[in-house]
Structure 1
Amino acid sequence: MPEHGGNLRDAMRRYGEHDWLDLSTGINPHWYPAPPIAGNAWHRLPETDPALAQAAQAFYGAPRMLAVAGTQAAIQALPRLRPASRVVVSSPSYAEHAHHWQQHGHAMREVPYDELAAAVDHCDVMVICNPNNPTGAHVPAQQLLQWAERLAARGGWLVVDEAFGDTVAGSVAAQSDRGWAEGGALIVLRSVGKFFGLAGLRLGFVAAPLPLLQQLEAMLGPWAVSGPAQQVALAALCDTPWQGSMREQLARDGARLQALLARYGIASSGTALFQWWAEPRAEAFHEHMAQRGIWVRLFPRAARGIRLGLPPDEAGWRRLEQALQLWSQA
């Protein structure tokens, strides 16, 4: 399997039982306070609550949505819903996309962001993380919709992973169910785990034309999302005061992280939830931080760099700044 952030057990095996500061995921460290779970949620088979889809459609601005056990479930299933196709995945990107399209008989190639426009007419499926994970790069919505039209005209798909899209404008989810050519589709993936800080729920949503959502639902089978996860997510999606104050806090924290890195000579980019930079000494930086109990995301190959998430508290900010100061003096 591709490597991911949040793998603290690996950190402990390699570096010991530190009081780890985990900055490796980009998940909001100020998670939504889950309400008490009704007892029957643990007892009943988890039929999908229509109110959950309605809340998701209102929150994400999509005309139609299917709840799935994390967007990972959709990422693994979508390649199985098409015959062998020419697939382009934006690079660098969330590694699971390329991994699963490649596993299911498709001719997959990874294409840098600045070359995607030239690749649209030479593929059947294009997969883009927007904003990108790990770099934060962003393709304007109007550009994505133009690409979607060109792909759909020949029965192609544009898959847009907006897992980190809750703190930026420019979602294309509202256009996912419009009259695409037969077989063509704009498919938008949204995650409850990132902005709400609830990765443990394993809950996400897919926006797409109805026939494709029906195929995906049939493939994933009944009871795809647990009852407790549905209850917590429904509360989070409907809590507009919490959402508004959290967006403001994350905007401040994201700017603070970028400014902190700049103070020590690191020019980064990203989103309100993480910062990224191309680091020529990526392995050395990762080792430097790990030795101080700070776990960051290392990208050692084509996208050679570092991604940092937000510290959860002032003690975490101080630890990070101390480690950065020592790194700048090395």
Structure 2
Amino acid sequence: MTRETEEAPIRHGGDLGEARRLFPQAPEPWIDLSTGINPIPYPWPAPEASAFTRLPAPADLAALEAAAAEAYGASPGQVVAAPGTQALIDLIPRLRRPGRVAVVGPTYAEHAAAWGRAGHAVATAADLAAARDADVAVVVNPNNPDGRVVPRRDLAAAAAALAARGGWLVVDEAFADLEDVESLCAAAPPACLVLRSFGKTYGLAGVRLGFAVAGEPLIGTLRRGIGPWAVSGPAIAVGRRALTDPAWLREAAAARGRDAARLDALLASAGGRIIGGTRLFRTAAFPDGPALFGRLGRAGIFVRRFEAAPERLRLGLPAGEAAWARLAAALAG
């Protein structure tokens, strides 16, 4: 395992302020492909006025969590809602004493950063086998940015081994909703916490809603750590509606799958070697990644770059034919 050292600033997707600083002459409006958010959002309902003017009722929150349990195949009572998965990523490391944490990577950088801030000794592991001596193992499944998938049987075995020595397995399934992966939500092994993102799947990142799935006593500990009224009334209303619409989810998975294949073809035609990804983003290596990042930026198209692998770029999916056409033209040079 590779030990993490001093925390460096983390570059996130979606920062169009950075895009405008880097490329002040780029045409507007920007096409932001730097996130892995569904570009075709769920047609959210207008919440009743009371969702804004009163505190969320416990019964409403319970109904939201029940809808999430049904959607994720989890047991009732094993789901807790939060104001986004990032809030959970920050909270979970503070729920146990500092120890040794292995993050299977490279992956979403906030996991290692959050555990480090909470005083844990953090190391990057190439796979679950390399994390066998840790007190906590963290896996993003499917992984961001390469789309790597760890089979459920391997995750369940790791969870059992960690539980036997008082450890935890944290599985971030932020991109699992639209993928053909075996979720751990239905099994909820002891000492395992599964994270699910609402905003990425439903294209409603601004709602700030996410979920954790776990058995007792972990789910109770997490619920107490989050505290009351953590999720807003409007988020509860929108979340309940979307999570009880499986037909929309099936259609979105099929449509985004077609979009991902279309994006792969575009990237390959521009000389890219497809590394992987999910139905919501694709990662490719290019002969000159930094030059292509600059060319796209000057065309008003913002994508993700990686300091540790400058040849690689990650692109989300365009929203609409006009955006697809701009991307194709910029890639063609």
Taking structure 1 as the reference length, the TM-score comes to 0.92
Given candidates 202, 206, 209, the residue that maps to 1:200 is 206
Match for 1:6 among 1, 9, 14?
14
| Alignment-derived partner of residue 62 in structure 1 | 74
> Which string of whole-angstrom CA distances, capped at 9 and with x for unpartnered residues, describes residues 195-246 of structure 1?
1001001000000122212212222221100000000011000112211211
**Identical pairs, percent:** 48
Aligned length: 317
Q: Distance in 1 between matches of 2:325 and 2:184?
A: 38
Kindly report the root-mean-square deviation, in angstroms, between the aligned alpha carbons of the 2 structures.
1.5
Query: 1:94 maps to what in 2?
Result: 108
Alignment-derived partner of residue 98 in structure 2: 84
Deviation of residue 279 (structure 1)?
A: 4.1
1:34 aligns to 2:34 (yes or no): no
Per-residue Cα deviation, 1:233-268 (whole angstroms, up to 9, x for no partner): 110001122112111111111111112212222121
Following the alignment from structure 1 to structure 2, what is the Cα–Cα distance between the partners of residues 123 and 278? Answer: 32
Report the CA distance between 1:304 and its aligned residue.
5.5
Candidates 275, 282, 300, aligned match of 1:293: 300
CA deviation vs aligned residue, 1:75-100 (integer Å, no higher than 9, x gap): 00111011111100121111110001
Rounded to whole Å, the distance in 1 between the matches of 2:117 and 2:311 is 24
Distance 1:189 1:304 in 2: 30
Q: State the TM-score, normalized to the length of structure 2.
A: 0.92
Call closer, same or farther: CA 1:133–1:170 in 2, change over 3 Å.
same
Q: For the residues of structure 2 that align with 1:302 and 1:103, how far apart are their CA atoms?
A: 25
Deviations 1:128-183, CA, capped at 9 Å, x for gaps: 1100111111111111111111111111111000000011121111111x4x3xxx
Determine whether 1:311 maps to 2:307: no
SS of 2:21's equivalent in the other structure is: helix
> What are the within-5 Å matches in structure 2 for residues 1-330 of structure 1?
1-16=9-24, 18-48=28-58, 49=60, 50-63=62-75, 64-112=78-126, 116-168=127-179, 169-176=181-188, 178=189, 180=190, 185-268=191-274, 269-279=276-286, 281-301=288-308, 305-326=312-333
Q: Structure 1 unaligned runs (5+)?
A: none
Partners of 2:104 and 2:131 within 8 A in 1: no
Q: Which amino acid aligns with 1:172?
A: L
Q: Alpha-carbon deviations, 1:253-299, whole Å to 9, x = none?
A: 11111122122221211111110123463322211110110000111
Q: Relative to 1, partners in 2 of residues 1:259 and 1:302: Cα closer, same or farther, differing over 3 Å?
A: closer
Q: Per the alignment, in what secondary structure is the counterpart of residue 167 of structure 1?
A: coil
Aligned counterparts of 1:32 and 1:228: Cα–Cα separation in 2: 14
Change (3 A) 1:10 1:89: same
Shift of 1:18: 2.5
Tell me, in whole angstroms, the C-alpha distance in 1 between the residues paired with 2:310 and 2:291.
16
1:24–1:308: 8 Å Cα contact kept in structure 2?
Answer: yes
Cα distance in structure 1, aligned partners of 2:12 and 2:47: 30
Output the CA distance in 1 between the equivalents of 2:135 and 2:257: 37
Distance 2:306 2:18 in 1: 16
Task: Indicate if the aligned counterparts of 1:280 and 1:305 stay in contact, CA closer than 8 A.
Answer: no
Q: Distance in 2 between matches of 1:12 and 1:311?
A: 19
Q: Contact conserved, 2:260 with 2:280, CA < 8 A, in 1? A: yes
Shift of 1:47: 3.1
Within 2, Cα distance between the matches of 1:280 and 1:47? 55
Distance in structure 2 (CA, Å) of the matches to 1:220 and 1:231: 19
What are the ranges of 5 or more consecutive residues in structure 2 without an aligned counterpart? 1-8
Secondary structure of 2:132 counterpart: helix
Counterpart CA distance in 2 for 1:73 and 1:162 is 15
